[in-house]
Structures are given as structure tokens and as C-alpha cells.
Amino acid sequence: MKKVSTLFLAVLLVFSFSFVSHGTEPTTEQETTEHPETTEYVDNPNHEPDIVSDAAIVMDASTGQVLYEKNSEMGKYPASITKIITVLIALEHDVDLDQKVTMSENAIWGIERSSTNIGLDVGEEVTVRDLLYATMVNSANECAYAVAELVAGDVESFAKLMNKKAKELGCKHTHFVTPNGLHDDDHYTTAYDMALITQAAIKNDQFREIAGTVNYTIPPTNLKDEERPLWTGTKMINPASPYYYEDCEGGKNGYTTDANNTLVTFAKKDGLELICVVLDCDGLKYTYTDTRALYNYCYNNFMYFYPISDFSFQKEQNENSENNLILDNYYKSLNHEMIDLTVDTNYHMLIHKTVDTTKIEKEVVLYDSVTDNSLGEIDFLYEGEIIGKTPITSTTPSLESQISKSTQLEEKLPFFERHKNFRIVLIVVVVSLIVIAILVTFINSLIQTKKRNDRRRRYTDFRKNNRRRRRDDHLHF
């Protein structure tokens, strides 16, 4: 009887669970355990995708303009994407890629043995090139450590270089402790700051080459007879991967239990190069599906617009007499031969595809003085708001120095040559003084003549009077 009761209870429990699973709506608890998925809105490409990553950003590599962001200023642990700035700093220190480096005990044993490495040993000799490729391609933590020692002597000194570089690039919420990204509570960044770092890194051609490498082979060393073939951990650049994205040029992935999955990539399509950063992503595959969805969204909705591809100052003057007058006045204000004004006709702006480009207006602004060879700017306005600007420069080499030289030459001229107005005033004054002097002399001459005449008259009168008295005296006697 006991066995029957037990069997009956088991059947009842199975029936009960079946009823709950299939006969009712999912509970709240069941909903929260269901893993989110990357969601693209194919029928509405203007709709931003829903992503799994807790923080993300897409930035235009050329202008730094942000096209998409999610918690982009929230502090996160970066994990191995830290190695981007590590390799960048090494390259900026002009390291000799063929230089042999001997692996130190600190580099080998200063990392967790369970973390990503390529099995180098203390005393093993590899080139700097091997270290940099292993750091980026295979995410080798001991190699990143060795790079730090090579550049700065030790990890602590290298961390100072990392933080200094991050600050120079405009990072405001970033602090680095390790060159490889192994966890430290004081080692953090944001999606926006990582985009700034990557923007600087991809300006370096050597970095681009390393970050875009699918596989690399380290040759035999003094301690190992076999080659070490390395394969990229950034699956979006590997054609053999299901996450391959043909427009992706390179990148770096990362993972620690505290950071979760992280990924930085850069891609280019139709001339538009974008940087995508995803942080704190629950699931490696979602870093790729999130990134793909964000790229698709941005490339579907944004484009480069070239507002002055056919611009010329001659055409501008012919169309606008006011600009002609401005230019004439500007030319006359310079104390040297007339100059040619020029602009970058390849200048471009990143705009949403819904923007009516026919309503984008341009305004030519010329400065009163020359600074860094810049004579003015062209402002671009849309609905009254400035959405872009590009400088007006000169084809005359070192225009500012020439103007300065012209000013110096002018200062060497005689005073009256440099101050023509003053010379005119002085001439007027001198002529006036001469005229006054002549008048004074003439008047004085008249006065002196009158005095002489008066003296002569008095003298004549005196003599006459004397003769008269003598005559009278003679008659009296």
C-alpha cells in the first residue's frame, strides 16, 4: 500500500508540473531567468536595436561624433580591451619591432596562470613584434606585462603612462592599473573613453595592422623548438567564424568574471568608419550580435555629406558681391601681395539620412587676423543651428610667418615711411611754421623799419632844433 501511495504521489507531482508548465502564463520569476537577445527591427531600420550589453557606444572615427550610446559614461571593468592602449603606447615610444626581449620572472609569474597566455617561460627570448601581436591577437597576458616592462621598466610606471595618455585623449572616467586588464577594483573605464582611446589607436598604421590580423605565428625560440600559431579572439574579422562581419577591420575582445564580456571593433563601409564598444555583456556571442546590430543600424541611418565638394572662392564672389567686398577689404588689409584662399573640398559632415541637404546653408566668415595659417571659416547651418565648420586657409606657405616677416621689414623702414599720415601732418606743421616765421620776420622788418624811420626823424628834428637855437643865440648877442 505504501508503494502504491508513493507511486500515486509521484504521478500527481509530474502531472502538476506539466499543468503548470503548459497550462498557465509564465511567472515573473520565469521571465527574469529568460536570457535577453539582441533585437534588430528589420521592418523599421530607424528603430535603435535592443542590445544585451549593459553599456555601449558607436562613434564616428573621423569626427568623434556619437551615433549611438547606452550608459556610455557608466564606469565598467574593461578586461583585455585594455591591451589597446598598451600596444598604442608601445608603438608611440618607437620600439624596435625586431629587438629581442628576454621574458622576466615577473612577466611570467605576475599573471594568473589560468588567464590567457601563450606559454612563454622565464628566460625565453622573443621579439617586440611577437609580443605586440601576441598581446592583441591572442590576448597573451604575459606578453602585455613584458611590453610594459620594456617601455617603462615596471608595471607601475607603465600604468602612469597609460593614465597620462588617457587623460591627454580626453578620458574623464578611466583609471588603469595593469597593462593586460586582469581584474583590479581600481582598473576601470567607460564605453565613451574606450572609443576615444581606439580613435587615437587606429590613427597608427602599425596598430591597425596588428589589430586586424587574423592569425600570426611566433617562430621557434631559444627555449622552444616548435612554432606557436596564434589566432585572433575577435571573431568578427575571422571569415571562418559565424560572427564574421565583412566590414569589420579589426578589434579586441575581453573577459573576466568581474568585467563580463567586452568588445571593441572598428568597421568601414561606404567611406564611413565607425568604432563600436560594448561592455558588461552577459554572453560572448551577444558581444558580436550586439555589435553587428549597432553597425547595421548606424550604416542604415547615417551618411557623410560633402557640402563644399564643388566650392571655389571665385564662384562664391561671383554669386555674392558682399563676399567679394569682404575679400577685397581683407586683401587690402594685408601688407603684401594678394593671397589665394582655399578650403578642404573633401570636408564632410556625418548626418542622418532624413536630413534635407538642400536646406543646409553655408556662411563664409573671414577673420581680422591670421592664426595658425587660418584666415577664416565656413559655417554650415541647418534650421538656424551650426552643424559644422571648416577652416579657410591659404595656399601661400607659412602665411602667418610671411605676414610677420612683412611686418618686421616694415618696422625696419624709416619712421616717416611707416607713418605716412604722420609725415603729412608734420609737413603741414612745418609749412605752417615757415609761413608763420616769414610773417613774423616780415612784421618784425616793418617794425624795425618804422623804428629806424622814427629815429631818423627824431635825429633830423634834433639837428634842426640845434641849428635854430644856435642861430637864435647868435642874434641875441
Say if residue 329's pLDDT is above 60.
no
What's the confidence (pLDDT) of residue 5?
Answer: 43
In this model, does residue 72 exceed pLDDT 90?
yes
Classify burial at 158, counting beta carbons within 10 Å of its beta carbon; exposed 0-12, middle 13-18, buried 19 or more. Answer: buried
What pLDDT is attached to residue 94?
94
pLDDT over 70 at 477, yes or no: no
At residue 2, the pLDDT reads 41
Assign domain 55-302 to its CATH superfamily.
DD-peptidase/beta-lactamase superfamily (3.40.710.10)
Alpha helices (H) along 202-283: 205-211
> Under a CB-based contact definition with an 8 Å cutoff, are residues 288 and 261 in contact?
no
Averaged pLDDT, 101-129: 96
Using the structure block, give the residue that is written with the C-alpha cell 502564463. 25
Where along the chain do its domains lie? 55-302, 313-418
CB atoms within 10 A of CB 374: 15
pLDDT band at 15 (very low <50, low <70, confident <90, very high): very low
Q: Is the pLDDT of residue 7 over 60?
A: no
Mind listing the pLDDT tens digit for each residue in 278-300? 999 999 999 999 999 999 999 99
- Residue 166 is predicted with a pLDDT of 98
Mean pLDDT of 76-96: 97
The band of 468, judged by pLDDT with boundaries at 50, 70 and 90, is low
Q: What is the rounded average pLDDT of the residues 445-460? A: 76
Residue corresponding to grid cell 558580436: 288
Task: Give the pLDDT of residue 380.
Answer: 93
In the sheet with 360-371, reading across from the earlier edge strand, the strands are: 341-342, 385-394, 374-382, 360-371
Name the band, by pLDDT with cuts 50, 70 and 90, for residue 327: low
Q: Is the pLDDT of residue 12 over 80?
A: no
**Backbone φ and ψ of 282, nearest 5°:** -85, 90
**Separation between Cα atoms, residue 75 and residue 280, nearest integer Å:** 10
Q: pLDDT confidence of 238, banded at 50, 70, 90?
A: very high
Q: Which residue has the higher pLDDT, 424 or 324?
A: 424
> DSSP class of residue 52?
S
Mean of the per-residue pLDDT values for the chain? 84
**Which is more confident, 469 or 253?**
253
Q: What is the pLDDT of residues 153-183, one digit of tens each?
A: 999 999 999 999 999 999 999 999 999 999 9
**Dihedral of the CA atoms 122, 128, 134, 140 (nearest 10)?**
40
Q: Across residues 123-137, what is the average pLDDT?
A: 98
The whole-model pTM stands at 0.73
Q: How far is it, in rounded angstroms, from Cα 220 to Cα 120?
A: 11
Read off the pLDDT band of 225 (50, 70, 90): very high
Picking from 55-64, 113-122, 165-174, 323-332, which range would have the lowest pLDDT averaged per residue? 323-332
Tens of pLDDT, residue by residue over 176-220, are 999 999 999 999 999 999 999 999 999 999 999 999 999 999 999
Mean pLDDT calculated for residue range 230-241: 97
Instruction: Give how far the C-alpha of residue 477 lies from the chain's centroid of Cα atoms, to the nearest Å.
Output: 128
pLDDT bucket at 357, cuts 50 / 70 / 90: very high
Per-residue confidence (pLDDT) for residue 427, from 0 to 100: 78
- Of 338 and 358, the structure prediction assigns the larger pLDDT to 358
Beta carbons within 10 angstroms of residue 141's beta carbon: 26
The whole-number pLDDT of residue 214 equals 98
- Number of helices and strands in the chain (H, E): 15, 15
Percent of residues in the chain assigned helix, strand, coil, to nearest 5 = 45, 20, 35
The predicted structure's pLDDT at residue 8: 40
- Summarize the confidence of residues 136-146 as an average pLDDT: 98
CB 339 within 8 A of CB 396: yes
Of 337-346, 420-429, 432-441, which one has max mean pLDDT?
Answer: 432-441
Average confidence (pLDDT) over 323-337 = 49
> What does the pLDDT read at residue 459?
67
Residue 111 burial by Cβ neighbours in a 10 Å radius (0-12, 13-18, 19+): buried
With a CB cutoff of 8 Å and minimum separation 6, the contacts of 7 are: none
What DSSP string runs through 353-384?
TTS-GGGEEEEEEEEEEEETTEEEEEEEEETT
Residue 122 CA to residue 120 CA, distance in Å, equals: 7
Is pLDDT above 80 for 58? yes
Quote the pLDDT of residue 22.
31
The alpha-carbon radius of gyration of the chain (Å, integer) is 43
Give which of 283, 243, 362, 335 is closest to 54, Cα–Cα. Answer: 283
**Fold topology of 313-418:** Peptidoglycan synthesis regulatory factor (PBP3), Domain 2 (2.60.410)
Instruction: Say if CB 131 and CB 228 are below 8 A apart.
Output: no
Candidate from 229-238, 243-252, 417-426 with smallest mean pLDDT: 417-426
Percent of the chain with pLDDT over 70: 78
Residue range 446-456: average pLDDT? 78
Query: CA 56, CA 76: separation in Å to the nearest integer?
Result: 11
Band the pLDDT of 275: cuts 50, 70, 90. Answer: very high
In this predicted structure, the answer to whether residue 13 has a pLDDT above a threshold of 50 is no
- C-alpha cell recorded at residue 231: 589566432
Residues 6 or more apart in contact with residue 362 via CB below 8 angstroms? 307, 308, 311, 378, 379, 380, 381
User: What pLDDT score does 321 carry?
Assistant: 44
- What are 240-244's contacts with CB under 8 Å, separation 24+? 243/285, 243/288, 243/289, 243/292
**Predicted local confidence at residue 336, as pLDDT:** 46
Phi, psi dihedral angles at 77 (to 5 degrees):
-85, 130
| 2 vs 448, higher pLDDT | 448
Over residues 407-435, the mean pLDDT reads 65
Average of per-residue pLDDT across 12-19: 35
